[in-house]
Every structure is written in structure tokens, then in C-alpha cells.
């Protein structure tokens, strides 16, 4: 629908997570709790700058670096190190991976969607039910001619993965050259990941049906505390689908949207990369040229400071070792508050089985609370979380977990 009078444009609602944070900030209740915002917080629920990043900041300050434009494709040394982290140096050195800097994971997803819609022209994109809400908006805006379809993911009965439903839907409905979006680790919002055996079955279906995979990887290292473990699915798909022996029977390509915002604590720097994997022996210059053209039209060139910080960390043996300890610290704290919350709920005798809180992984827990119960938590107890029941565990600490557990018991 076109509007000739701009005053007739309807007012659109804020994204829920941002509206929730705004409401939390306006709340004057002294014991309010923010379990909605997807950012890491320390043991006092305060922003935490990674020690490895603090050292990198000092290094850059001492170097008195300039602030010139980057090339359109981004910071080359940063991209090399980011690719090594994601794929491992042995895989990353292959010449069928094209990398370009993006505005965090969101920008990488947006570039992938536009590139697919313009050049690969899938009929459908399959998105997990549920998913990070921006996946839908990105494809709605960037690729309106591609039909968005859901594949089952969360089983509310078991509060686990509906793997059979997921695989069945892809087998039944996905057509050659369709896109399927997969979360590499720490699925948002459920915190539920496939097992390695399940990943292998998904990869087999992708290969047989020649589907285009877009991996969204936002939590490498932060999910489990081990960067290599969190990248297992991506590396397996690469090896299975894009070695010379398998490429003739596999898909046209695979994308990995890599965010360095969360696992480096660089939320405001918006640092990320998009990696396009093509079958071996095919020329890649054309694909890179089209990606560069899209970046030029959107942002002209990407941001510099965050890319320098990540490169400084990953390029220094001491700093990268400290970074691995930093992500372990974050992962360990999240695992700790998972155990605390489960223990408090069980001690209080809260209705139901709360084992899923510890079984899930990453920053989020899909609690199983209904939207009505979430609303009660907000209105009666000043506890803020998404209406679908997703809880950001970084908002919990030893000082408020008992209060949150009692509030949950109260609304059941």
C-alpha cells in the first residue's frame, strides 16, 4: 500500500526486546530484574568489558592509530583471523571461502538474504519455530519475493528439540535451492541445539535436497566456553558438503553469518563477517564483487575500531589465550545461574520439572512460561522478559535469583 500523505503512515511498534528494555529503565521499583536484554552481565548484573579487550584497547591507544576508511570488503587481517576462528586455519585456507566484513550478525544476515534473493532466487526460506525475531524482519525487508516458512524446532511437551518434526518438514516441503536458516550454537531463543548425530542427519538432508544453508553464529565460545566445540556444526557441514568428493552432489553454496559482538563483548561496535562457501574449483571473484556492491550501496564501507580490537586479540598469542579464558568465564557464570535457578525452583516446590533450564545452553532459557504468566511477572514482580517465555540468564545473580524463583512459583 502506497501513502501519498506521510501523515497517514501507521505507527509501528518497537521491537519487543527494545521496548522491554525501555520499560525496565523507566521502572522505579528498587528490586526490578531485567531478564529480557540479550547482553552479558557480570556477577553484579553490570556491563563487563572483557580483560582481553581492555588490553587490546590499550595496545591500539599506544600505537596512535589513525581513523581512515576501510576498503569496502573490510579489514583484511581481521577477516583472516575471524575466518580462522570460525572454520579452523586448515579449512579457512581453502580458496572456496569468500569473506566480507558486515555490521555484526544482523548485517551479515541482511547481506546473505539480499544476495540469495537477487542471485540464487530461492522459492522459500525455512526459519525455525521459534527463532530470533529479526530473521523474519530481515527476509521480509530484504527478500519480499521469497516465501518465509517455518520448520518445527521447539517441543513444548518435552521442552526440548522437535528433531523429527524439523527433519520431516525439510524433507517434505523444501525444494532444491531453497534456503534453510540454522543456528550454529546456543539457539536463540530456546537454548536447545541438535546433537552431533542430529547435525549429521540435517547435513545429509541438505546435501540430498541441495538446500542453501545460512548458519547464524552469534555465540562461538560464549555458548559452551570452547570456541572449537561451538563451531563443530559449521565445520562438519563444510567438510561434508564442500570437499571435492562431495561438491558435485551438494548445494550451490553455504553462508555463515558471524557476529563478534557477543563473544567479544563489543555490542556497540557492531562487528561481524559474512562468509560464502562455494563448491571447490569454481571462481569466486564474481560472488565477492556482488557482495562488495551490496555493501557499497548500504554502508559504503564497514566500521574500523571494533575490527581492529578483534584482530589485535586474535593476532596475539597471549591475548587470544586470555580471550579463551574470558569466554569460559562468561559461559561458566551462565551455567552457574542456570543451576542456581533450577535449585531454587525445586527447593520452593515450584510446579513442574525444571531440568530443562540446566540442559539448555547459552545465554537464554526458553522457560515454558506462557505470555500471561510473563505479564504477571512484570506487573506484580517487576521482572521483565520476552512474552514468549525467553529468559536472558545474564540478568540473574546470587542476589536476585531467589526473588525470581519465588515470583515464578507465584505465577504458575
Domain residue spans of the chain: 15-50+330-411, 69-315
Q: Can you list the positions of beta strands (E) in 222-372?
A: 254-259, 271-277, 364-366
216, 230, 326, 397: the catalytic one is 216
If one looks up domain 15-50+330-411 in CATH, what number appears?
Answer: 3.90.1150.10
Q: Residue 9: what pLDDT?
A: 87
> Strands 271-277, 254-259: parallel, antiparallel or unpaired by DSSP?
antiparallel
Q: Residue 248: what pLDDT?
A: 63
Lowest-confidence segment of 10-14, 50-54, 72-76 by average pLDDT: 10-14
**What's the pLDDT tens digit per position in 313-364?**
999 999 999 999 999 999 999 999 999 999 999 999 999 999 999 999 999 9
Mean pLDDT of all residues in 295-310: 96
Q: What is d(CA 220, CA 121) in angstroms, rounded to the nearest whole number? A: 30
Q: Residue 280: what pLDDT?
A: 85
Q: 184-198, 234-248, 272-286 — which one is most confidently predicted on average? A: 184-198
Work out the number of other CB atoms within 10 angstroms of the CB of residue 180.
26
If one looks up domain 69-315 in CATH, what number appears?
Answer: 3.40.640.10
| Distance linking the first and last C-alpha atoms of the chain | 43
150 has pLDDT over 60: yes
327: enclosing H helix or E strand: helix 317-348
List residues bridging with 148 in a β-sheet.
125
**What's the pLDDT tens digit per position in 371-409?**
999 999 999 999 999 999 999 999 999 999 999 999 999
149, 193, 230, 262: the catalytic one is 262
| 132: annotated active-site residue | yes
| 262: annotated active-site residue | yes
DSSP structural state of residue 41: B
Q: Residue 246: what pLDDT?
A: 56
Work out the pLDDT band at 284, boundaries 50, 70, 90.
confident
48, 132, 199, 323: the catalytic one is 132
Amino acid at each position: 500500500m502506497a501513502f501519498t500523505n506521510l501523515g497517514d503512515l501507521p505507527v509501528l511498534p518497537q521491537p519487543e526486546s527494545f521496548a522491554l528494555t525501555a520499560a525496565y529503565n523507566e521502572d522505579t521499583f528498587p528490586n526490578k530484574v531485567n531478564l529480557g536484554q540479550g547482553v552479558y552481565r557480570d556477577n553484579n548484573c553490570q556491563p563487563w568489558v572483557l580483560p582481553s579487550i581492555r588490553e587490546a584497547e590499550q595496545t591500539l591507544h599506544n600505537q596512535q592509530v589513525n581513523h581512515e576508511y576501510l576498503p569496502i570488503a573490510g579489514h583484511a587481517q581481521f577477516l583472516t583471523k575471524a575466518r580462522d576462528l570460525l572454520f579452523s586455519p586448515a579449512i579457512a585456507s581453502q580458496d572456496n571461502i569468500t569473506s566480507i566484513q558486515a555490521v555484526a550478525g544482523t548485517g551479515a544476515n541482511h547481506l546473505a538474504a539480499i544476495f540469495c534473493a537477487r542471485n540464487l532466487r530461492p522459492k522459500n526460506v525455512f526459519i525455525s519455530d521459534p527463532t530470533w525475531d529479526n530473521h523474519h524482519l530481515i527476509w521480509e525487508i530484504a527478500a519480499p519475493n521469497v516465501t518465509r516458512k517455518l520448520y518445527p524446532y521447539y517441543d513444548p511437551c518435552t521442552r526440548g528439540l522437535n528433531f523429527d518434526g524439523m527433519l520431516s518438514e525439510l524433507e517434505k516441503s523444501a525444494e532444491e535451492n531453497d534456503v534453510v536458516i540454522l543456528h550454529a550454537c546456543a539457539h536463540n531463543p530456546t537454548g536447545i541445539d541438535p546433537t552431533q548425530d542430529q547435525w549429521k542427519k540435517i547435513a545429509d538432508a541438505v546435501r540430498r535436497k541441495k538446500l542453501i544453508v545460512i548458519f547464524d553464529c552469534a555465540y562461538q565460545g560464549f555458548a559452551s566456553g570452547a570456541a572449537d566445540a561451538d563451531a563443530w556444526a559449521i565445520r562438519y557441514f563444510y567438510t561434508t558438503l564442500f570437499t571435492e568428493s562431495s561438491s558435485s552432489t551438494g548445494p550451490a553454496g553455504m553462508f555463515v553469518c558471524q557476529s563478534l559482538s557477543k563473544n567479544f563483548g563489543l555490542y556497540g561496535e557492531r562487528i561481524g563477517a559474512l562468509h560464502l562457501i562455494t563448491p571447490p574449483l569454481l571462481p569466486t571473484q564474481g560472488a565477492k564483487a556482488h557482495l562488495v556492491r551490496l555493501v557499497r550501496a548500504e554502508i559504503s564501507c564497514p566500521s574500523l575500531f571494533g575490527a581492529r580490537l578483534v584482530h589485535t586479540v586474535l593476532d596475539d598469542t597471549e591475548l587470544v589465550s586470555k580471550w579463551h579464558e574470558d569466554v569460559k568465564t562468561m559461559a561458566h557464570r551462565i551455567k552457574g545461574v542456570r543451576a542456581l535457578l533450577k535449585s531454587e525452583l525445586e527447593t520452593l516446590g515450584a510446579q513442574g520439572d525444571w531440568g530443562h533450564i540446566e540442559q539448555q545452553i547459552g545465554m537464554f532459557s526458553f522457560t515454558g512460561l506462557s505470555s500471561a504468566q510473563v505479564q504477571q511477572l512484570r506487573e506484580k514482580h517487576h521482572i521483565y522478559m520476552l512474552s514468549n517465555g525467553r529468559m536472558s540468564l545474564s540478568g540473574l545473580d546470587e542476589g536476585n535469583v531467589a526473588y525470581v524463583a519465588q515470583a515464578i512459583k507465584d505465577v504458575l
